[in-house]
Structure 1
Amino acid sequence: MLTLTKIALQEYGRLTFGLAIAMMDKVLFRVVLFFLGLVVFLACKGKQPESPPVVEQVRYLSFDEETANQLDVKAIGQHQYEIRTTGTDPYILLSPLTHQRGEGDLVLSLEYKATSPLHHLQVFLGAPINEERSLKTAEIAASSSWKMLAIDLGDQIKEFNWGNVGDFLRLDFGNEQNVAVHIRNLRLRKRNEAEEKSARERELFRQDDEALNQEIMAYLNRTYPASIVDVSVEGETIAIRGVAPAGEPVMLAEVTPYQQLSRVTKFTYTYSLEGSQFVLSLARYVERDGFRYDRALSAWAVIREGSTKDDLLSHARYATQIEAQWNLPVQSLAHKKGLGGFSASRGFVEDLDDLPIGSVTVNVPITSFIYLDARPDTYVHEYGGKSFYFDRKKIDELDQTFRVAAARNIIVSAIILVQKASECADPSVGELLEHEHYTDDAFFTMPRLDNAESLRCYAAALDFLAGRYCQPGSPYGRIHHWIMHNEVDAGSTWTNMGKGRPLFVYLDNYYKSMRVCYNIAKAYNAHTEVLASFTHSWVTKAPGGDYATLDMINGLLQYSTAEGDFRWGLAYHPYPEDLNEPKTWNDSQATFSPRSPLVTFKNLEVLDDWIKRPENWYMKTNKRMLWLSENGTNSRTYEEKDLQEQAAGLAYAWKKLARLDGIDAIQWHNWIDNRNEFGLRIGLRRFPDDEEDPGGRKPVWHVYQAAGTEREDEIFEPYKAIIGINDWREIMKEIP
């Protein structure tokens, strides 16, 4: 039994092994078949024709030819147009979107040819159409061959959620007449790699800008344990007096205008302090950063020295007492009647006597006459241990203008303007003074003040002007007040350091520019005042503006409280709500509330109320100066009706002005109609090249002449009917 069983088991094993081998053969066979099939499949697949690539559909944009304004447009081929500008405001709408904007389509792309340069191309994202919803390019160069132009609208598209069905674009072709432009292949596309990189950099810059804005606001609002009580400059010495925490080792730190206080980690120029109350006298002039630096331009703060970062223990304070080189007499306004944009070279100087005039503004573009290197026919001026050169012909022209005013005891405000680099007389000056974030579509730049060399160049120009026009006897004429730049609430258009800058980042640069000018001019004239220039915005932005004027003014008050007050005032421009419309009494956005959206001629009471509030005064003791330094009513044409409405606008404004003693003077702008003022005719005289009556006196001239005289009521009487009143007292309102 045992043997038989053993034999049986052996046979069973052979059988089982055979079955296993057989099964393995089948599996192997199947595996081989699978791989053979795969090879055949792949081989066959490789022989098949490739699928055609997916081609993204290009949706070209088209012009809505019926919407053309001051331009002729004609389609001359597929997605191609011929355009010719016929006026100074040429624009056209694109046909509304019939589909949702494609994901990532953020760049407006086109090809163009142009017979002449265009000052800019402005893209509006409608609707609605307004300046805030637009992007303006730099100058568009002339080109006889097709040239690509790409405009990244991504930021605006995101902000305004643009790109839905029915949305549209409007293209404005600069402000030049008779320019022929060919355009083709106008479309929206995705960003390329370089554009994506640029967009990321812009976003990082915006984030840092906002962080800086918060830092400045926190600094101005903070309460510190120490304080700088007074900074006095006398001769060659500067004295700093302050209060420090008792029992702590603290230091006095110097802060130059080209330092950003909130970003300073370790202060370079420091001095040990002893005692809780201190007075420290230092040399006014020091050799620093390659030149002889005047520390009258610096601010001073108490700090606690740290190993890696110093702690700020006080606000920084500028000099509030500066000894003047000359004891110039105070000159008072004879009356409120003035002229804007005055220059003796414009002719009609007799108007100063015939109207008569008590004050003028004079444009002083400093970058049009300063050079870094020796030039023929220049005046040489030493500043900071370096020679600067000033164009003799242009300075002589300024002399003539200022002398004409001085001979009549007319008060003069110089409007300090800084041109963009491409317009500067000396390109090297342009490199120093054009703000690093300036965008090329603006008329002027905010001066760059973030480095020692730029500060010295800017200060040298101001020092030359102050030294020349603030002398005893006024041998070259006199500058009484300094209007700092133009309409800074519309900074991206007029005084530019980039578009969309946060309020306090922008205001910080402007405030420093005001301080530098004030401290330099005060060293010559103890009665120096600087004026801040604003549009007619008040609590809301003006059309095309960046900031509300009241926000900027309140910001200046914050700086004055924190860092020491100085004599600054307002150079306000209360144009009518619509600059083309002379009937300012109809302005809907000018209300009689302290929180009015705008302040125009209609509600000058709002300005008068603000300037007379003691909390807004210089040192809380003296009313700040308020000039209406640029304003006028327009005559749409030289037809009699339009001329009479312009004159009525002046009569209305003057009757208000005469009753508001917080407003010191008005400088009517423009003195003479100017072809370069966007089609406006706001002057007292016609265009000098007018065919019928070149430079002729308009009715508004005669109204201005009568203003403030015994003939005022007689000459003003007919304008009541145009305004719709029976008595001039009807136009005056109370501010709650």
Structure 2
Amino acid sequence: MRHLLLALLLAQTVCAQNTDPFPTPPNQKGLQVQMVDDALALGIHHAGINVNLTALFDAKSKAESNEFVFNQGYLASLDRQIKPLSDKGVLVYLILIAYPSKNPAIDAVVLHPGHRQDYKFSVGAVNTTNGFLDAVMNLLAERWSGAHPENGRVWGWIVGNEVNSHFLWNNMGLVPLETAASEYEKAYRIMHTAIRRHSQNARTYLSSDHHWSSSMHNVSAQEATPGRDFLDTFARLVRERGDFDWNVAWHPYPEDLGNPRAWADKTVTHADSTNKVTFKNLEVLPKHLAAPEFLFNGKQRRIILSEQGFHTLLTPDGERLQAAAYVYAWEKIQTLPTVDAFIYHRHVDHAKEGGLRLGLWRNAPNSIATPHSTKLIYELFKKAGTPEWRAAADALLPVTGMKAWNE
């Protein structure tokens, strides 16, 4: 009888897997959403939302016996962001990251055992040595698989953030490329497996910054790696351990984050040896992924641009330069068929983003990210993917000094 009950439970789990095909939205327009109503008014089809895995862990958990308790208040707050977007047909992508909690008891469970406790980092690698990651991902994947419409629906799962620069964004201590990629692959595989239990066609994505053959400057090879090398090593490890359908979330910021002139990057080339992959040479990435060793079931990996924006200079032409950079980027991705989403960052300027003003909105004086007023890019963004786009976009061409957007 016990074996029969187990078989019935397993059968129910298999039957519960959602088999809906991955949606095909009208275009790539997306946003890392701060204000849901405003995002919907802008006509987005893709939305990025951060999920802090550390905040999901409840200290009442008994990690030694895999009895995990999760923060229901935080889960409900995520529902309130996800549901109104997915109800309107917006594809929601969750960015799964583990911020250090500063609570040693919590960090010992959630963060990678090698994370540098003596070093100030932004995001830690996730612990794969206990049952927490599988438990939390099983919870999230089931909650937003479509089985519970009252919670909303998630289609994309971005595993970490800019993990090739692991000293800052995926901290597991001082490790070489092979170890950094291997530890990330372990976490990615756990997450992907949990998601597949509940959704046959949801997609998962590796996250990288814009470094390609180079890595973040002024740090050692045990702290950051070239994005291309990390991607290649990750892909090899996946093949060796059992291939599956992973995809890529790239961040093609300009070579200088403080210069919005995306068309004017001087150091990048169109060769596979280029130092960075920005919007100017974005085609390098899909070309690299077209190599036979990257294909899965004969098809190319899909690409989303999950975090990138353009700085607003405090000059008379600052807002026009920002808006022109968005047009340049939008026009470029229309030529790249494996790029599915362009998720703009940020919705509102953020006072703690190193002096960058990337938002569609200005933030209120003396606030961190309280929306104050919209910029020129706001109305342009709203027109992307509509019949009004062409005239609005072409009006900004003179700002670039080019004769045509495809130049």
The TM-score normalised by the length of structure 1 is: 0.50
* Other-structure match for 1:159: none
Q: 1:337 to 1:614 in 2, by over 3 A?
A: farther
Mapped to 2, the partners of 1:601 and 1:628 lie a distance apart of: 10
Comparing 600-609 with 514-523, which one deviates more in the overlay?
600-609
Match of 1:660 among 312, 336, 350: 336
* Other-structure match for 1:339: 31
* Other-structure match for 2:320: 644
Amino acid at match of 1:476: N
Verify the 8 A CA contact 2:40 2:85 in the aligned structure 1: no
* Other-structure match for 2:201: 527
* Other-structure match for 2:39: 352
Q: Deviations over 1:416-450 (max 9, x none)?
A: 1112251x5xx43311222232223211111122x
Match of 2:361 among 676, 685, 698: 685
Mapped to 2, the partners of 1:525 and 1:339 lie a distance apart of: 24
Please say if 1:559 is aligned against 2:234. Answer: no
* Other-structure match for 1:596: 274
* Other-structure match for 2:381: 704
Q: 1:472 to 1:383 in 2, by over 3 A?
A: farther
* 1:701 partner SS: helix
Q: What is the root-mean-square deviation of aligned Cα atoms in Å?
A: 2.5
Q: How does 1:529-544 map to 2 (within 5 A)?
A: 529-543=203-217
Verify the 8 A CA contact 1:631 1:668 in the aligned structure 2: yes
Verify the 8 A CA contact 1:336 1:666 in the aligned structure 2: yes
Q: How does 1:74-473 map to 2 (within 5 A)?
A: 323=14, 325-334=16-25, 335-340=27-32, 342=33, 346-347=34-35, 349-373=36-60, 386-422=66-102, 427-439=104-116, 440-449=119-128, 451=129, 455-472=130-147
Deviation of 1:517 after TM superposition, in Å, equals 0.3
Deviation of 1:690 after TM superposition, in Å, equals 7.1
Verify the 8 A CA contact 1:420 1:434 in the aligned structure 2: yes
Q: 1:428 to 1:324 in 2, by over 3 A?
A: farther
* Other-structure match for 1:729: 406
* Other-structure match for 1:504: 178
Q: 1:580 to 1:460 in 2, by over 3 A?
A: same
Q: 1:725 to 1:464 in 2, by over 3 A?
A: same
Mapped to 2, the partners of 1:665 and 1:650 lie a distance apart of: 14
Amino acid at match of 1:459: D
Match of 2:168 among 493, 497, 501: 493
* Other-structure match for 1:27: none
Q: 1:703 to 1:486 in 2, by over 3 A?
A: same
Verify the 8 A CA contact 2:57 2:70 in the aligned structure 1: yes
Amino acid at match of 2:308: N
Q: Deviations over 1:217-255 (max 9, x none)?
A: xxxxxxxxxxxxxxxxxx968xxxxxxxxxxxxxxxxxx
* 2:362 partner SS: coil
Mapped to 1, the partners of 2:283 and 2:15 lie a distance apart of: 36
* 1:594 partner SS: coil
Mapped to 2, the partners of 1:236 and 1:537 lie a distance apart of: 48
Deviation of 1:553 after TM superposition, in Å, equals 1.1
* Other-structure match for 1:570: 248
* 2:205 partner SS: strand
Mapped to 2, the partners of 1:538 and 1:324 lie a distance apart of: 42
Verify the 8 A CA contact 1:324 1:524 in the aligned structure 2: no
* 1:531 partner SS: strand
Mapped to 2, the partners of 1:720 and 1:418 lie a distance apart of: 41
Verify the 8 A CA contact 1:328 1:472 in the aligned structure 2: no
Q: 1:688 to 1:611 in 2, by over 3 A?
A: farther
Match of 2:394 among 717, 723, 727: 717
Q: 1:361 to 1:472 in 2, by over 3 A?
A: same
Mapped to 1, the partners of 2:29 and 2:218 lie a distance apart of: 29
Mapped to 1, the partners of 2:228 and 2:384 lie a distance apart of: 30
* 2:187 partner SS: helix
* Other-structure match for 1:676: 352
Mapped to 1, the partners of 2:292 and 2:379 lie a distance apart of: 37
Q: 1:484 to 1:508 in 2, by over 3 A?
A: same
Mapped to 1, the partners of 2:31 and 2:347 lie a distance apart of: 6
Deviation of 1:560 after TM superposition, in Å, equals 2.5
Identity, in percent, stands at: 26
Q: Deviations over 1:247-291 (max 9, x none)?
A: xxxxxxxxxxxxxxxxxxxxxxxxxxxxxxxxxxxxx9xxxxxxx
Amino acid at match of 1:573: H
Verify the 8 A CA contact 2:363 2:371 in the aligned structure 1: yes
Comparing 623-632 with 435-444, which one deviates more in the overlay?
435-444
Mapped to 1, the partners of 2:84 and 2:40 lie a distance apart of: 11
Mapped to 1, the partners of 2:140 and 2:146 lie a distance apart of: 10
Q: 1:471 to 1:728 in 2, by over 3 A?
A: closer
* 1:371 partner SS: coil
* Other-structure match for 1:188: none
* Other-structure match for 1:516: 190
Deviation of 1:594 after TM superposition, in Å, equals 2.0
Mapped to 2, the partners of 1:584 and 1:626 lie a distance apart of: 19
Amino acid at match of 2:396: Y
More helix by proportion, 1 or 2?
A: 2
Choose between structure 1 and 2 for higher RCO, CA contacts under 8 A separated by at least 6 residues. 2
Q: 1:383 to 1:520 in 2, by over 3 A?
A: farther
Q: 1:399 to 1:558 in 2, by over 3 A?
A: same
Verify the 8 A CA contact 2:350 2:363 in the aligned structure 1: yes
Deviation of 1:654 after TM superposition, in Å, equals 0.7
Q: Deviations over 1:135-186 (max 9, x none)?
A: xxxxxxxxxxxxxxxxxxxxxxxxxxxxxxxxxxxxxxxxxxxxxxxxxxxx
Q: 1:618 to 1:323 in 2, by over 3 A?
A: farther
Mapped to 1, the partners of 2:276 and 2:70 lie a distance apart of: 40
Deviation of 1:328 after TM superposition, in Å, equals 3.9
Deviation of 1:394 after TM superposition, in Å, equals 1.6
Mapped to 2, the partners of 1:570 and 1:398 lie a distance apart of: 24
Deviation of 1:683 after TM superposition, in Å, equals 1.0
Verify the 8 A CA contact 1:333 1:411 in the aligned structure 2: no
* 1:665 partner SS: strand
Mapped to 1, the partners of 2:132 and 2:281 lie a distance apart of: 41
* Other-structure match for 1:582: 260
Gapped regions of structure 2 (runs ≥ 5): none
Q: 1:434 to 1:648 in 2, by over 3 A?
A: same
